[in-house]
Amino acid sequence: MADFVGRGGRPDGAPGLILNVAVLGEGMHVGAWRYRAGAASDFTDIGFYQEIGRQAERGRLHAVFLADTLACAEENFERPNLGAIDPTIALAGVAAVTSHVGLVATASTTYNEPFNLARRFSSLDHASGGRAGWNIVTTFVPDVAANFGGDRLPAPTDRYARAEEFVEVVIRLWESWEDGALVGDKIGGLFADKARVRAIDHQGAHFSVRGPLTLPRTPQGRPVLFQSGSSGPGRELAGRTADAVFTAQNVKANAQAFRADVRARAAAHGRDPDHVKITPGLLPILGGTEGQARARKDELDRLGGQAELQKLALRIGVKVDALELDAPLPLELIEANQDFRGSEGFRSAAIALAREGRLTVRDVLYQNGGGHQQVVGTPEQVADVIEEWYRDGAVDGFNVMIDVLPDGLMDFVDQVVPVLQRRGVFQRDYAGTTLRQNLGLPVTA
């Protein structure tokens, strides 16, 4: 156990492995909506998200993590998609029926204003007793730009320059009230100590924001910062300011290198590397036997039709008819595309996986469900991967992407979590009530 504690385990000696549940549509698999028991419209029903929150909390998972995108794309006509419902609204509904699980919402620095975003996440943090997190994305989707006046995407470097400044402004707003500035002395009539609340007077290249925020410090000091995006600027943003990183990693050695790189960047910024948690996506497809798991995967694939292949083509930046199922993934074609403006993280994760294992397109689809590592197998086999990657320093935990919601989450909680707990790898109870406490992060001053 000592190695876990030394790597950011809990102060009470419990293991430090982090497991969040990532919510996309009605399940990560493109066939989920047809496979599951509930109505296709459940993604619009707050009860759906509340049930996920309850199940996650039953399993002592650290957080419910909602992906997001600000457009109705072709995918939205084919299945429930990420970003349909505003994640902060969904998570405010989850907050009301849970008490410990963290609530992480994705929001874009390119298509929001820092004052609005700072207030919204501070509000969610207050409303949940200190369980909110913001997953920072810079957005690389042309469909989104078209909803915000733009006819083209900003270049990646511009997006990240704005993001760096955006995050700085948000943090300063969150910290504009000193702890204790809200005095609340009803007898003496002193509501707030104005000397302990400061305008931020930010004047930068992208934003001019006076502040202060309308809200005092939150129960955990400020919301937890997740960063998504694995490019150079993304890693730098993570090293400088993020508490946790969501990334796509399919090869353990690459994940080790990624984690080491982000930790080194954090140290270079004078931070404790243990205060940056690396949590790649992991999609388990479970069965009582390996054969049952494969049957579940095959049935989901059948229901999903061509959508998995289309998703892969989009993610790696080639046309769908350039992909033949039993041919090798066309690495040269992919790398020749200089105009690619999508996620570097997803593309490089797929390339790395295919190169490492000399995989066919069919193999990639099997091991890389939509960009993240996919494990089709028994609860023990899934627990093996989680434990091995954690022990070997490739991750601090995983954002577990559930194939079919909420049933697949119930299976994960009932079947995988107990194995990890028996092995001493995963917590049997929460360390505290705030997300910072539960992730082993310092409460900011």
Virtual CA dihedral for 30, 32, 38, 40, nearest 10 degrees?
A: 10
By beta-carbon proximity to a second copy, the closer residue of 173 and 255 is 173
Q: How far is the CB of 163 from a second copy (least distance, A)?
A: 17
Site for a second copy in 256-275 (CB under 8 A): none
Distances (CA, A) of 32 to 46, 90, 297, 397: 18, 20, 10, 24
Does residue 251 touch a second copy according to CB under 8 A? no
- 89 or 327: CB nearest a second copy: 89
Cross-strand pairs, 18: 397
Backbone angles phi, psi at 340, to 5 degrees: -60, 125
Question: Taking the alpha carbons of 147, 152, 156, 159 in that order, is the dihedral positive or negative?
Answer: negative
Q: How far apart are CA 395 and CA 61, in angstroms?
A: 16
124 is an interface residue for a second copy by CB under 8 A: yes
The residues that bridge with 209 in the sheet, in sequence order, are: 202
Least CB distance to a second copy at residue 176 (A):
8
Q: Which two tokens stand for residue 379?
A: 């609860």
As measured in angstroms, the least distance from the Cβ of 179 to a second copy is 12
Does residue 387 touch a second copy according to CB under 8 A? no
223 is a site residue for a second copy (CB under 8 A): no
- Contacts of a second copy in 19-48 (CB under 8 A): 33-34, 39-41, 44-46
Within 56-75, the residues that bind a second copy by CB under 8 A are 70-72
Contacting a second copy within 309-348 (CB under 8 A): none
Distance, in Å, from the CA atom of 40 to the CA atom of 26, rounded to the nearest integer, reads 8
109 is an interface residue for a second copy by CB under 8 A: no
Q: Does 443 contact a second copy by CB under 8 A? A: no
Which position among 20, 55, 81, 250 is part of the footprint of a second copy (CB under 8 A)? 81
211 or 234: CB nearest a second copy: 211
Q: CB–CB of 255/389 below 8 Å?
A: yes
To a second copy, the closest distance from the beta carbon of 106 in angstroms equals 13
The helix-helix angle for 232-241 and 156-174 (nearest 10°) equals 10
Integer Cα distance of 403 and 419 in angstroms: 20
Residues 136-195 that bind a second copy (CB under 8 A): 143, 146-151, 176, 182-187, 189, 191-192, 194
> Which of residues 196 and 294 has its CB atom nearest to a second copy in the complex?
196
Query: Which residues share a beta bridge with 9?
Result: none
**H-assigned helices in 59-185:** 75-78, 87-95, 114-127, 142-145, 156-174
Q: Which range in 90-98, 153-161, 369-377, 422-430 contacts a second copy by CB under 8 A?
A: 90-98
Q: Which two tokens stand for residue 22?
A: 């990532």
Identify the sign of the CA torsion 18, 23, 26, 28.
negative
Q: Is 386 in the site for a second copy (CB under 8 A)?
A: no
State yes or no: residue 76 binds a second copy (CB under 8 A): yes
Gap between the Cα atoms of 68 and 105, Å rounded: 8
434 binds a second copy (CB under 8 A): no
For a second copy, the closer of residues 113 and 335 by Cβ is 113
- CA-based nearest residue to 131, from 103, 94, 106: 103
12 or 74: CB nearest a second copy: 74
- Least distance (Å) between residue 165 CB and a second copy: 12
Between 201 and 324, name the residue whose CB sits nearer to a second copy: 201
For residue 59, the minimal CB distance to a second copy (Å) is 21
> Nearest approach, Cβ of 243 to a second copy (angstroms)?
21
Handedness of CA 171, 172, 177, 178 (dihedral sign): positive
The 3-state DSSP class for residue 19 equals: strand
Nearer to a second copy, 151 or 321 (CB): 151
- Contact between 406 and a second copy by CB under 8 A: the answer reads no
CB-CB contact of 289 with 378 (8 Å) = yes
Residues touching a second copy: how many (CB under 8 A)? 73
